Amino acid sequence: MSVQQASKSKVAVSPLELENAKEPPLNLFKPKEPYTATIVSVERLVGPKAPGETCHIVIDHGGNVPYWEGQSYGVIPPGENPKKPGSPHNVRLYSIASTRYGDSFDGKTASLCVRRAVYYDPETGKEDHSKNGVCSNFLCNTKPGDKVQITGPSGKIMLLPEDNPNANHIMIATGTGVAPFRGYLRRMFMEDVTFKFRGLAWLFLGVANADSLLYDDEFTKYLQDFPDHFRYDGALSREQKNKSGGKMYVQDKIEEYSDEIFKLLDDGAHIYFCGLKGMMPGIQETLKRVAEKRGENWDEKLSQLKKKKQWHVEVY
């Protein structure tokens, strides 16, 4: 299916004025005066064999808290801060998982991809509710119509550069770190917007098993509809083995395709990393090892990528 054919079946979005802003919106609502938004829906994203629960949460901001793909919202959970009695909780940041038009394509909602942070007592093996993540459990427990205090939007590091529609984009996510990339890909492949993407988007997604894959149906559809412009590789740590027989992590997939990845980077591709901060050391070690095998100095290469604004990291 050519890009021309596919663009005919793209979804109309509104208001198209959201395309006109030259600069991203930033910090329209601050922690002292957050915006009160409303929950539209909460949906479990993972199958029964997934460890833990990840939810897709759609929030109605009424068009009052606009954002760009790759930005984050802050959420202030209800209740008081145990470390500062009488004060509200600290803001928790969540990468937005939708485009600026939201999942209903009308510019009035934002979606978050949230994994419940659950703490198990190492001695009893039982869940200790007192140590569970306050905000992730609040969000996953909300019902349509519930109110939620949001701040932001914030962040510029993960904005999708749109100046060159032929540019290539390599996206490396672990778990809920896929959120910003879902936004990019909907903008590239689903919505009829001024940005007409003609490059390659390549997504690597690391999760525990097939039941833990997030938004897999969307990504699989792009593969069918845009085979020349999208690649998608999963690393399922509990179901696949790497070449040395260990668990398969995203860095093993990076190593497997390292020749292509390095060539793309040399030709100006953007590379993005999003997920838990524990993902980066293993990835950096792999990239360093691969570079050395190729007779390149990784530290020099990395500083060049940063200088040319090709390197984008958001980990938490």
Residues labelled catalytic: 94-95, 274, 314, 316
Q: Is 303 annotated as a binding residue?
A: no
Q: At what angle do helices 258-266 and 279-293 cross, to 10 degrees?
A: 80
Burial of 230 (0-12, 13-18, 19+ CB in 10 A): buried
Q: Which residues contact 107 (CB under 8 A, 6 or more apart)?
A: 13, 14, 15, 18, 63, 66, 100, 101
259/291 Cα distance (integer angstroms): 10
Q: Is 198 annotated as a binding residue?
A: no
* DSSP 8-state secondary structure symbol assigned to residue 163: S
Q: Is 314 annotated as a binding residue?
A: yes
- Under a CB-based contact definition with an 8 Å cutoff, are residues 141 and 148 in contact? no
Q: Is 116 annotated as a binding residue?
A: no
Burial of 312 (0-12, 13-18, 19+ CB in 10 A): buried
266/10 Cα distance (integer angstroms): 32
191/103 Cα distance (integer angstroms): 10
Q: Which residues contact 82 (CB under 8 A, 6 or more apart)?
A: none
Q: Is 115 annotated as a binding residue?
A: yes
The tokens describing 43, both together, are 């949906």
> Beta-carbon neighbour count of residue 166 at 10 Å?
10
Q: Is 112 annotated as a binding residue?
A: no
DSSP, collapsed to helix, strand or coil, labels residue 176 as helix
Q: Is 247 annotated as a binding residue?
A: yes
Q: Is 239 annotated as a binding residue?
A: no
Ramachandran quadrant class, 268 (left: phi over 0; alpha: psi -120 to 50; beta: rest)? left
Q: Is 237 annotated as a binding residue?
A: yes
Give, in order, the Cα–Cα distances in Å from 51 to each of 48, 54, 122, 136, 154: 8, 9, 17, 16, 30
Binding site, annotated residues:
95, 115, 176, 237-238, 247, 275-276, 314
Binding site, annotated residues for NADP(+):
95, 115, 176, 237-238, 247, 275-276, 314
